A and B are shown apart, each in its own frame.
Chain A
Amino acid sequence: MDARIGVLALQGNVSEHIDAFLLALERMGHGSSSEVFEVRNPADLAECNALALPGGESTTISRLIDKNELFGPIQQFKGGIFATCAGMVLMATDVADPRIHPLGLMEMAVDRNAFGRQKDSFEADIAIAGLDGGAFHAVFIRAPLVTATGKCVMAVSRIPQGIVAVESGRYTALAFHPELGGDTRLHERFLKRLVRQFPE
């Protein structure tokens, strides 16, 4: 499969995700036929078979998804979605904040800024189910938490405060920032799962 990975580029940590996916593709031995590019409108989205929803300010990104007429197209998007931090908030069905218009693609409840303010942001080595190579060094910045999951959503990492990584079919959502720090194992795992589901 040639990967055509779009990174939603409305606001937030966009270039870091592009760099991380490029590095992941290189480490997986993908040829130059795979691409990573910015997505700002429905036409860009139509070019992708995978989409990353980056971290940023979730209220701002949510409003811009509506404004740029991307809400419906992302909901109907047939490819994989890799969502981090603010992106995880958007993937949920249930967000206790009227300013967020959640995509509802993963049956789960998410709490924004669940850990508090920036001074409560932290780095920690966390265990992720089924991930080879030991603990993952995770960077939590004003991070969300999953407070409840539906039947199809699998929690793959839990810390004492709650669930911080979930997978469901072609979707991955993380409360932390794998694009900061150079460890691309989660990006690679997401892409490998997609290849299994869409061998072409």
Chain B
Amino acid sequence: MKLEELRFGTELLKRGFASMQKGGVIMDVVNAEQAKIAEDAGAVAVMSLERVPSDIRKTGGVARMADPEKVTEIIEAVSIPVMGKVRIGHFVEAQVLEVLGVDMIDESEVLTPADEQYHIDKKQFKVPFVCGARDLGEALRRINEGAAMIRTKGEAGTGNVVEAVRHMRTIMGEIRMLRGLDKQEMIDYAREIEAPADLVIECAERGRLPVVNFSAGGIATPSDASLMMQLGADGVFVGSGIFKSSSPERMAKAIVEAVNNYDDPAIIAKVSTGLGDAMPGLDVHTLRDDEVLQTRGR
């Protein structure tokens, strides 16, 4: 093996990394202590951020990348992969997280967007990216920009799974619909949803997105997590749902177990028993337009 022929940061390495997360739970954490709780509960990775989404809703203001000191503290605390959130379009926050050694970057609508026109040109990075999407067009635009993983957006910080369900059903339904189209109709559909035609055709052929697709934004209970897996998610992100519940350690373990046994209601029943209170929930229909996070970036 010639050392000069090693290749780093390729598309295969980025998508391969995402693929290793399948069947797992990725948990939002704001410090080393929470990161350890997540790792002990069986999380496949942790997402480092300054405040969990429900706190971002409460405190308002501009939500940014976490303090590098916190990110480093979390990286040093656990052996599982550490991800980090950056603002949509804020490629310098992404450069900073890459230098810190974060394993995957989430270009996230949960933080305040830095660019209302452009997302980050993710192909310029060695580190893989995950991005949110509400429908097939949005997912494929992000993949075309270099995202190695998609997560359906849901509505973060609400503890209400309804938007996560809507977005997962939309994407899976669009892909199922594509399989009945001929090539010309697929190209026409690609134009309609503003997505590259080759990616639309690839989805139709494979019957799924070309990258791993997780669910996010409103998962608060083991049943919610199992619901998203049964609707076709490859895994789940849980944000406020763990550390805003009354017993984070137990909730974290219960959600991991629900994802690993998502098609076994007896196990979901067992792990849901005596868990204490889930995070307080919000009716998404009562949110003002400026409180809705999912419409950021499109």
Q: Give A28 to B3 CA distance when docked, in angstroms.
A: 33
Q: Does A26 contact B (CB under 8 A)?
A: no
Q: Given A55-B20, A181-B12, check contact A124 B1 (CB 8 Å).
A: yes
CB distance from B75 to the nearest CB of A (A): 8
Interfacial residues of chain A within 1-36, with CB under 8 A of chain B in the complex: 9-16
Which residues of chain B come closer than 8 Å to A119, judged between CB atoms?
8-9, 98, 101, 103, 126-127
**B128 touches A (CB below 8 Å):** yes
Q: Is the interface of A mostly helix, strand, loop or mixed?
A: loop
Instruction: Identify which of A64, A67, A141 gathers the most chain B CB atoms within 10 Å of its CB.
Output: A141
Q: Are A160 and B3 in contact (CB under 8 A)?
A: yes
Of the residues A11, A86, A120, contact of B22 by C-beta under 8 Å: A11
A4 to B257 alpha-carbon distance, docked (Å): 28
> B295: CB under 8 A from chain A?
no
Complex contact A118–B7 (CB within 8 A): no
Whether a CB of chain A sits under 8 angstroms from the CB of B104 is: yes
> Given A141-B20, A181-B12, does the pair A64, B98 have CB atoms closer than 8 Å?
no
List CB contacts (< 8 Å) of A31-61 with chain B: 55-57, 59-60
Considering only CB atoms, which chain A residue lies closest to B83 in the complex? A118
Judged by a CB distance under 8 angstroms, whether A186 is at the interface is no
Q: Which residues of A contact B278 (CB under 8 A)?
A: none
| A122–B22 CB distance below 8 A | no
Known contacts being A118-B128, A180-B16, is A59 close to B39, with CB within 8 Å? yes
Are the C-beta atoms of A56 and B24 separated by less than 8 Å? yes
CB of A180 within 8 A of CB of B12, answer yes
Question: CA–CA, A112 to B80, complex, Å?
Answer: 10
Name the one of B81, B126, B260 contacting A142, with C-beta atoms under 8 angstroms: B81
Which B residues are CB-close (under 8 A) to A120? 8
A60 near B44 (CB under 8 angstroms)? yes
Contact residues in B for A13 (Cβ distance below 8 Å): 16, 19-20, 22
Which residues of B have CB within 8 Å of A69? none
B254 to chain A, nearest CB (A): 13
A125 at the interface (CB under 8 A from B): yes
Residues of A within 8 A of B127 (CB): 118-119
Task: Identify which of A14, A15, A64 contacts B42 (C-beta below 8 A).
Answer: A64
B17: interface (CB < 8 Å): yes
A129 in the interface (beta carbon within 8 A): no
Q: Known contacts being A121-B17, A141-B17, is A10 close to B260, with CB within 8 Å?
A: yes
Is A156 an interface residue, CB under 8 A from the partner?
no
Complex-state Cα separation, A80 to B277, whole angstroms? 46
Residue numbers in A under 8 Å from B101 (CB-CB): 116-117, 119
Return A100 CB to nearest CB of chain B, in Å.
10
Instruction: Tally A residues with Cβ within 8 Å of B.
Output: 42
Residues of B near A123 (CB, < 8 A) are 6-7, 10, 12-13
Give the contacts of B3-34 with A (CB-CB under 8 A): 3, 5-10, 12-13, 16-17, 19-24
- The answer to whether B79 has its CB under 8 Å from any CB of chain A is yes
Residue of B nearest to A9 (CB): B23
> With A59-B80, A112-B79 as given contacts, are A139 and B5 in contact (CB-CB < 8 Å)?
no
Within 8 Å CB of A16, what residues of B? 19
B10 touching A57, Cβ below 8 Å = no
B268 within 8 A of A: no
Whether the Cβ atoms of A124 and B103 lie closer than 8 Å is no
- The answer to whether B104 and A118 touch across the interface, beta carbons within 8 angstroms, is yes
| C-alpha gap A85/B43 in the complex (Å) | 18
Q: Which of B13, B44, B101, B104 has the most chain A CB atoms closer than 10 A to its own CB?
A: B13
A16–B42 alpha-carbon span in the complex (Å): 22
Contact of B260 among A15, A64, A85, A99 (CB under 8 A): A64
- Residues A124 and B6 in contact, CB atoms below 8 Å apart: yes
Whether B45 is near chain A, meaning CB under 8 Å from some CB there, is: yes
A22 to B260, CA, bound (A): 24
Which of B1, B17, B102, B103 has the most chain A CB atoms inside 10 A of its CB?
B1
- Sorted nearest first, the 5 A-B pairs with minimum C-beta distance are A118-B103, A11-B23, A57-B44, A123-B7, A122-B6
Q: 8 A-B Cβ contacts within 8 A?
A: A13-B19, A86-B20, A119-B9, A119-B98, A119-B103, A123-B6, A142-B17, A142-B103
Residues in A lying within 8 Å of B, measured CB to CB: 9-16, 55-57, 59-60, 63-64, 67, 85-86, 97, 99, 112-113, 116-127, 139, 141-142, 159-160, 177, 180-181
